[in-house]
Amino acid sequence: MAEARRGAERGWYLSARRQREEEEEEEEDEDGESAPLLPPLPGSVRNPPNRGSSFGFSVFNLMNAIMGSGILGLSYAMANTGIMGFSILLLIVASLASYSVFLLLSMCTQTAVTSYEDLGLFAFGSAGKVLVATTIIIQNIGAMSSYLLIVKSELPGAVAGFLSGDESGCSNRSWYLDGRLLLLITSVCIVFPLALLPKIGFLGYTSSLSFFFMVYFALVIMIKKWSIPCPLPLSSTTETLQVSNSTGDCKAKFFHLSKESAYAIPTMAFSFLCHTSVLPIYCELRSPSKSRMQNVTVTGIGLSFLIYFMSALFGYLTFYDKVDSELLQGYSKYLPHDILIMTVKVAILFAVLLTVPLIHFPARKAVLMVFFSHLPVSWICHILVTLTLNTIVVLFAVYVPDIKNLFGVVGSTTSTCLLFVYPGLFYLKLSREDFLSPQKIGACALVIFGICVGLLSLVLIIFNWINQ
């Protein structure tokens, strides 16, 4: 029965592909824009043009999928690669991320499927589908855990900062200063209800808020560059600050290489991964077409690159080699009661909290596709899977000690696979172009780059752990 079902499933995809090939000559509409990427499914009705997410909301949703906890680790990456080294690597990763999305959209045009998992099925059968879905589940759990780890570490300090000195110091055991308890409350009251929404397009309003929170974060980091002295104070807990006499700590490095540089590319790959959300966002885009979705992608990745670079640069120029793996921790040490820093903490906390539900969508879809594809769609299954994912993510956030470990491991494994390796492999397998065509050469280079960078980074990270 399973073989018959898989055969029927692949048969429909082949039929849809043949139908698409016959319509290739008619893909250009009167305005010169590509026709909608996919034909409607059998028995379905195409949404009217006024339905679906607008271009702006789709960009906000994509940027919300891109931007999250990664913004807090990029200054650390710059400190360990240098300004020029970081700039080159960040530009390469952003460009390759946009190119791999282009490959995904091209394959959707050829195969008439609209999910990352189904591309794996079409390319490599059931094993490919399960592999892609499992990778998505692991990566999204790691991403959501890193976001909630920020909530656990920063929310108690934000709460204490808004209290008077006597109240915040009277008892460190107060429930409202317990990071784990606050994490549980926010997960139950904010993350879980938003993750239960049936369509990803409903999060357009929250995604736009998250975007403005990230912009505010970048602006405050730029402003506060001149509020913290350099050389940095050695201690901010005593009445008299002890200041280092080493002015060498205040010189920016253009290129730098150390054992911590192994975390740089994985952190960048983690920061730009949006591929699990691209196709769901496309499916709900108003007047969907390949060119329109590519414009959404280029706009979202371009704006994210700008915000990432500016916040990383000014965060690095504030702390230089003393920057923490989680940027806000440095401001908590040296400006513990600064009003702007307290507000930016609240802003970044809201931003990551509003990002977690968006990541729930592809993770839940992958779980349903792998484990419950034989069951009819129901609200009970929807709720149970969402609750299970939320529980796993909260547990990881509670027990993982350092955010750079999440960035390093998840970024060098699942993120590089989803960002570089899988899109290139699928294109090489599915495209009918000649192997020496520019697109196939680019796809081959993408695969080689992803495998080499991922393995090298993972080996160096494990080596660092062993030698700590």
Query: Is residue 15 assigned to a domain?
Result: no
What integer is the mean pLDDT of 220-234? Answer: 79
Query: Is residue 4 assigned to a domain?
Result: no
Structure tokens at 5: 């079902």
Cα–Cα dist 282/292, whole Å = 9
Query: Is residue 43 assigned to a domain?
Result: no
What integer is the mean pLDDT of 437-448? Answer: 89
Query: Is residue 394 assigned to a domain?
Result: yes
Cα–Cα dist 128/132, whole Å = 6
In this structure, what are the phi and psi dihedrals at residue 211, rounded to the nearest 5 degrees?
-60, -45
pLDDT of 32: 42
Cα–Cα dist 20/95, whole Å = 29
Using one digit for the tens of pLDDT, what is the confidence trace for 335-344?
777 888 888 8
Query: Is residue 47 assigned to a domain?
Result: no
Mean pLDDT of the chain, nearest integer? 77
Q: Which domain covers residue 407, as residue numbers?
A: 55-466
pLDDT of 200: 61
Query: Is residue 1 assigned to a domain?
Result: no
What CATH number does residue 286 fall under?
1.20.1740.10
Query: Is residue 49 assigned to a domain?
Result: no
Residue 432 burial class via C-beta count within 10 angstroms: exposed 0-12, middle 13-18, buried 19 and up: exposed
Q: What is the pTM of this model?
A: 0.74
pLDDT at 108 over 50: yes
Give the orientation angle of helix 264-272 with respect to helix 438-466, to 10 degrees. Answer: 130
Per the structure, the count of domains in the chain is 1
**DSSP letter, residue 28:** B
pLDDT at 188 over 60: yes
pLDDT at 41 over 70: no
Using one digit for the tens of pLDDT, what is the confidence trace for 347-393?
888 777 777 887 788 888 888 888 887 777 788 888 888 899 999 99
Query: Is residue 96 assigned to a domain?
Result: yes
Using one digit for the tens of pLDDT, what is the confidence trace for 387-424?
999 999 988 888 877 666 777 777 788 888 888 899 99
pLDDT at 1 over 80: no
Nearest to 356 by CA among 152, 65, 62: 65
What integer is the mean pLDDT of 298-313? Answer: 91
Confidence of residue 247 (pLDDT cuts 50, 70, 90): low
CB 322 within 8 A of CB 249: yes
**Percent residues over pLDDT 70 in the chain:** 78
pLDDT of 202: 59
pLDDT of 465: 76
